[in-house]
Amino acid sequence: MGATMRRTRPSAHRSIRIVLAFGLLLALALSATTASAAPTTTTVVVTGSDISSGDGSAGDTGWFTGDTRAGGDVSLVTGPSPTPLGTGSLHITTTDQVDGGNNQAKAQLFNYSYVGTPLADITAMSYSEYRSSDSTSNQGLHVGLNIEVDFAGDGVSYTSLVFEPIYQSGGIGALESDVWQTWDAYNGGNAKWWSSKPIPGVCAFDCFVTWNDILANNPNATIKGGFGFNNGSGWAGVSDENADALTIGVNGSTTTYDFEKTPPLLCRVFIWTHQNQECSFTSSNWITNFFRNFSGFGWPFGAGFR
Ligand SMILES: [Ca+2]
């Protein structure tokens, strides 16, 4: 009896250890799976060296001035204070230039890194904007967002979807000058957009429909070109605008672009996955950016400037 018990006890302990080890491995595997699928929040600083003229039609990603025409200008400046992020912003202006009887001044700054993204995967869009009282254009005209879209998802179709603050629930009464205002261009799918061309469910120019309406009528739509800011054309008068903190979310992971005149102090973060993650600081907001840049990446072993 005693010899039997001596034989069975070690065997039972081995079984328990095997079960515990298997359970630990399973927990680690599930943890890793969960970590890899977790949404991320990223801030990217955009400075002048990040911007090129023209568009990303050659397949380049990054920032381009798009269809910026004579009389339109984009530049990176300090202020107007207090900026939504950092110390600078994008200055996006149009003059009262007249070309052939129409005011054609137009300024754009588009990002071409989202080409091919299904519109249905977009989960956030927002930006901050500042209209100077030096503007002489109609006070309802504030800088808006554009997305160049393949609405049929067939590689051929094209329209520009446009978000403008004046067509949102507050109307012109919500628009102000000489103050930063933040616009939610997604708003749970309830933000209003219009289309530059007729597409299923949306007429050209004059149909102001929700993002969800566009998706319902164009379920295969994808981003075809640029996503970003537009000022003009066809706006009589001078438009003096600033923009900052452009956010886009894809499948729950958001990226916010912080426009800055001065290149930030760069650092490199070493995280537990042994990957390096660029992060950025400016002298006045480095504490905020320290935590913002580290969120979503887990605790680092260390960080260093370079
Ligand atoms: Ca900024």
Q: Which of 4-8, 9-13, 202-206 has the least mean pLDDT?
A: 4-8
pLDDT value at position 101?
64
Distance 245 CA to ligand 1 centre (A): 6
Strand spans (E) along the chain = 41-46, 51-52, 63-64, 72-78, 88-94, 98-99, 102-103, 106-111, 122-131, 144-150, 159-163, 180-184, 192-195, 209-210, 222-232, 239-250, 253-259, 265-271, 276-281, 300-305
The residue-averaged pLDDT of 242-267 equals 90
Distance 278 CA to ligand 1 centre (A): 17
pLDDT in tens, 177-206: 999 999 999 999 999 999 999 999 999 999
pLDDT value at position 299?
43
pLDDT in tens, 130-180: 999 999 999 999 999 999 999 999 999 999 999 999 999 999 999 999 999
pLDDT band at 264 (very low <50, low <70, confident <90, very high): low
Domains and CATH numbers, the chain: 50-259 (2.60.120), 265-305 (no CATH)
pLDDT band at 48 (very low <50, low <70, confident <90, very high): very high
Answer for the pair 260, 86: CB distance below 8 angstroms, yes or no: yes
CA gap 289, 137 in Å, rounded: 36
Distance 59 CA to ligand 1 centre (A): 27
**Is residue 235 classed as helix, strand or coil in its secondary structure?**
coil
Say which amino acid occupies 190: N
pLDDT value at position 234?
81
Distance 76 CA to ligand 1 centre (A): 9
Residue 22 has pLDDT above 90, yes or no: no
* Between 273 and 37, residue with greater pLDDT: 37
Distance 91 CA to ligand 1 centre (A): 11
pLDDT value at position 37?
73
CA gap 75, 92 in Å, rounded: 7
Distance 99 CA to ligand 1 centre (A): 33
Residue 16 has pLDDT above 90, yes or no: no
Distance 87 CA to ligand 1 centre (A): 5
Distance 196 CA to ligand 1 centre (A): 29
Q: Where does residue 245 rank: exposed (0-12), middle (13-18), buried (19+ CB within 10 A)?
A: buried
Distance 129 CA to ligand 1 centre (A): 11
Residue 61 has pLDDT above 80, yes or no: yes
Question: Which two structure tokens, joined as six digits, stand for 238?
Answer: 């001078």
Distance 185 CA to ligand 1 centre (A): 19
Q: Is the full-model pTM beyond 0.85?
A: no
Distance 242 CA to ligand 1 centre (A): 10
pLDDT in tens, 204-252: 999 999 999 999 999 999 999 999 999 999 888 999 999 999 999 999 9
pLDDT value at position 131?
98
pLDDT band at 4 (very low <50, low <70, confident <90, very high): very low
Distance 145 CA to ligand 1 centre (A): 17
pLDDT value at position 156?
98
pLDDT value at position 278?
47
Distance 98 CA to ligand 1 centre (A): 32
Distance 274 CA to ligand 1 centre (A): 30
pLDDT value at position 100?
65
Q: DSSP letter string over 136-185?
A: -S-TT---EEEEEEETTSSSS--EEEEE-GGGSTTGGGG--SSSEEEEES
Q: Which of 29-43, 53-67, 228-242, 259-273 has the least mean pLDDT?
A: 259-273
Residue 3 has pLDDT above 50, yes or no: no
Q: DSSP class of residue 56? A: S
Other Cβ atoms less than 10 A from the Cβ of 23: the count is: 10
User: In whole angstroms, how far apart are CA 55 and each of 39, 41, 148, 154, 261?
Assistant: 29, 27, 12, 21, 21
pLDDT in tens, 272-291: 444 444 454 444 445 544 55
Other Cβ atoms less than 10 A from the Cβ of 178: the count is: 11
